Structure 1
Amino acid sequence: MAPLPDGFSYAEWNATYNALSFGIAAMGSATIFFWLQLPNVTKNYRTALTITGIVTLIATYHYIRIFNSWSEAFTVASKDGGDYTVKLTGAPFNDGYRYVDWLLTVPLLLIELILVMKLPQAETVSLSWKLGLASALMVALGYPGEIQEALRPPCMSRWATPLLMSWPRPCLACSFGPLRLRSLQWRRVASCCLTKSWGVAS
């Protein structure tokens, strides 16, 4: 865990506190909404929507843990009715929760993207494994750089190269996956129109 810098103002501490509280409420309510909508969604997309709810549930849990860790890392007090002052308590702030969250949710989001593309089963399984593992590796390799107190050349050379090698596949999937889906949808629409209008099977 990287040490927190001292000297936070009350406004800065309070903004982070409120942002984390907002995140808990947003992610928690989103989980309820997604799962309540499952009966209203076409069966083919229910697995993807279930994964969406799992992602927001995981995020809710980790936001709660980050919120608690943030609260325990500081003490906020007002002396004689004056302005609030923020001081470190000495308790560590666990910034690793973010990476644990991403380690779980990023692969799930990529798998969800693959599921809604309606690819052949073999390709769906293959891409899910490849992109899931690649994205998990990308997140895992980012954490050592996050917790370094100083950027030292040996550290950078140790982690930067494998990190840069792991991120292109997930990023390309997020960028071009929807385009491929759109192409598949247009082909299905064209095939349906030809069949209905002219009796031509493509």
Structure 2
Amino acid sequence: MIIQSNFFVTNFEKRDSFKRVVLAKPTATSETIMENLVKNFIPLLKWNRQHNLHFKIPLVAAATVFPNAANAAANLQPNDFVGISFWLISMALMASTVFFLWETQGVTAKWKTSLTVSALVTLIAAVHYFYMRDVWVATGETPTVYRYIDWLLTVPLLMIEFYLILRAIGAASAGIFWRLLVGTLVMLIAGFLGEVGHISVTVGFVIGMLGWFYILYEIFLGEAGKAAKHQASDSVKFAYNLMRWIVTVGWAIYPLGYVLGYMMGAVDDASLNLVYNLADVVNKIAFGLLIWYAATSESQDAKG
């Protein structure tokens, strides 16, 4: 795929409208992953949209990030299971990004946004995982506060997915969007402030839990839950139900980690990072796959 993508990029550079996009030289640092992403992938995405060349986006994404990731693996030790988990999850997230972007070709217009947002979630998480892996290898620790940078971007996008799939079937209101967004931000900001010491650890935990419970109420018993129950097709209802159980069960690991790892100090950083890494497989990748299932099923039905 990288060879193919370099071929496409080489041909792109021959076009006058694309001369501004130049591939950066791969290096071994995480900072260059984000730098190359900004320099290459985002301009390519814009140019791709203008020229209606959807099939090239995943290849370009691979060319932009994978070489840097491969170089970054040089310091990985065979007995560093946490570092290995960072690496495996990073590659799984990048592979998911390519997959979701590729699959936007096969769905109807109203589902493209949902799949694109899923790709953004996994792409953002992958870049952060590369960075956290470097920090872990260099220092032997990755403070949870680093994860909040990821969560503050990806978790609101995950919650907005509930709104987007309901909007795709004509069952969403602006109120659903704002309630989910506000609940998510309250949960995350309270946890962050408690963890960095700006407010009491207990106060941060309580407020964060209230934000989480507010989200659960909305997606189970609130307007969003009622819309999914009464207006969604079988495929959308199936995806929606599993998505909200991911938010219920899959997300429970985070407050448990907050209590056991931060409030009580009963879990070491290595174990906590390993559990968080495995949890992200379900909470980000599986979540996106459910969106993909609903999008492809609905699109196939629409095409007859």
TM norm structure 2: 0.45
Higher helix share: 2
> What 5-or-longer segments of structure 1 have no aligned partner?
1-9, 75-91, 149-153, 188-202
Using the alignment, how far apart are the partners of 1:94 and 1:161 within structure 2? Answer: 21
For 2:159, the equivalent position in structure 1 comes to: 110
In structure 1, what is the Cα distance between the partners aligned to 2:145 and 2:206? 21
- Count of aligned residue pairs for this structure pair: 154
Once the 2 structures are TM-superposed, how far is the Cα of residue 166 of structure 1 from its aligned partner? 1.9
Deviations 1:70-128 (A, max 9, x none): 01104xxxxxxxxxxxxxxxxx744322111111111111111111113658x532221
2:122 aligns with one of 56, 60, 66: 56
Higher relative contact order (CA 8 A, sep 6+): 1
Matched, 1:159 2:204: yes
- Identify the residue that residue 101 of structure 1 maps to in structure 2: 150
Q: Which runs of no fewer than 5 residues in structure 2 stay unpaired?
A: 1-76, 235-304
Q: CA RMSD in A?
A: 2.8
Residues 115 and 124 in structure 1, CA contact (< 8 A), matched pair in contact too = no
Query: Does the CA contact (< 8 Å) of 1:141 and 1:162 recur in 2?
Result: yes
Percent identity at matched positions?
25
Matches of residues 126-145 of structure 1 in structure 2 within 5 Å? 126-145=175-194
Partner secondary structure for residue 80 of structure 2? helix
- CA distance in structure 2 between the partners assigned to 1:157 and 1:15 by the alignment: 31
Which is greater in Rg? 1
* Higher share in strand: 1
Instruction: Give the Cα separation in 1 of the matches to 2:83 and 2:229.
Output: 41
TM, length-normalised to structure 1: 0.65
User: Please, which of 52, 59, 71 is the counterpart of residue 137 of structure 2?
Assistant: 71
Identify which range, 128-137 or 31-40, moves more after superposition.
Answer: 128-137
| 1:118-155 CA distance string (max 9 Å, x none) | 3658x53222122112202201111244456xxxxx82
Written as runs of structure 1 = structure 2, the 5 A alignment for 1:1-202 is: 14-74=80-140, 93-118=142-167, 123-147=172-196, 155-175=200-220, 177=224, 180-185=227-232
AA matched with 2:86: L
